Amino acid sequence: MTKFRRMKPIPASELVINADGSVYHLNLRPEQIAHTVFLVGDPGRVPRVSRHFDSIEHQVQRREFVTHTGTLAGKRLSVLSTGIGTDNIDIVLNELDALVNIDFETRTIKEQLTSLKLIRLGTSGCLAADIPVGSIVVSAYGIGLDNLASYYQRTVSDDEKNMEKEFEEFARSVGVDLRVYAARGSEQLLKVFNAHRAGITLTCPGFYGPQGRNLRLRSIYKPRFFDEVGKFNHSGFGITNFEMETSAIFALAGMLGHQALSCNAILANRLRKEFAEDPAAVVNNLIEKILETVAASEEF
């Protein structure tokens, strides 16, 4: 767990608590969240997950943040929509941590800290030719092309530092100068979901230019970047996919002492120029497979 030195009460301007005792953006009170949380981007995906629960005890919504908490196979679980992008992840991860690790009455950090299990259920594009559309991939690492982690005083492992340097050198070799951060997911949770292909996920701070799409504006990427980037390898893991949240989840979870894993349904293969014919079915398969694993595992 990250050690915090702050002992004084946290000011109201830094931790905003609503009149009903809920945290500012998520609108959740501490008792309304489980210690295993599924993170989905789309608010409409929340009921697609919670319909598999045996019971639902809380349903809360504010803006794009929708939360359902209930039980499955005797395990208390929450599913929460983050919206799109690492900026929203900054809100969600900090407020989830506040719900379990800050006493809202005294506004002080608890002496006994709680480690959450955070599992992203997302959709993604694929950067490896041998991964078919419709597959499930899990992330051992996230590489952030955004700059969220730079706003925090973060201890980076030698492994993560090496990965950052290696990827930046690789990117320059295929025509683009990038500054990135690397963050490792939970090795413990990765073992639980070892039935699925594991790799490295690129997290982009946008859908168009940051992912090399050209409409009326030209991206900085050379045409061959996304053709070549799948060849990058670190510690036996290659780059499998790209999306818009994973690196931030891993970086913030690591700093806060939580376990995090990202599980993504592959809707598109960038190299094959393919897109899923039935995206809803692909997402439903992801939800069912991951929930089956959680229900059967003693880890949760």
Q: CA 250, CA 262: separation in Å to the nearest integer?
A: 8
Task: Supply the mean pLDDT for the chain.
Answer: 95
Maximum Cα–Cα distance across the chain: 55
d(CA 19, CA 212): 44
pLDDT, tens digit, for every residue of 232-288?
A: 999 999 999 999 999 999 999 999 999 999 999 999 998 888 999 999 999 999 999
Model pTM?
Answer: 0.95
* Residues listed for the chain: 300
> pLDDT tens digits, residue range 85-119?
999 999 999 999 999 999 999 999 999 999 999 99
Predicted pLDDT of residue 213: 87
Confidence (pLDDT) at 271: 85
pLDDT digits (tens, 9 = 90+) for 2-32: 455 557 899 999 999 999 999 999 999 999 9
Closest CA to 144 of 259, 242, 266, 254: 242
Contact 283, 265 (CB under 8 A): yes
Closest residue by Cα to residue 211 from 233, 232, 185, 229: 229
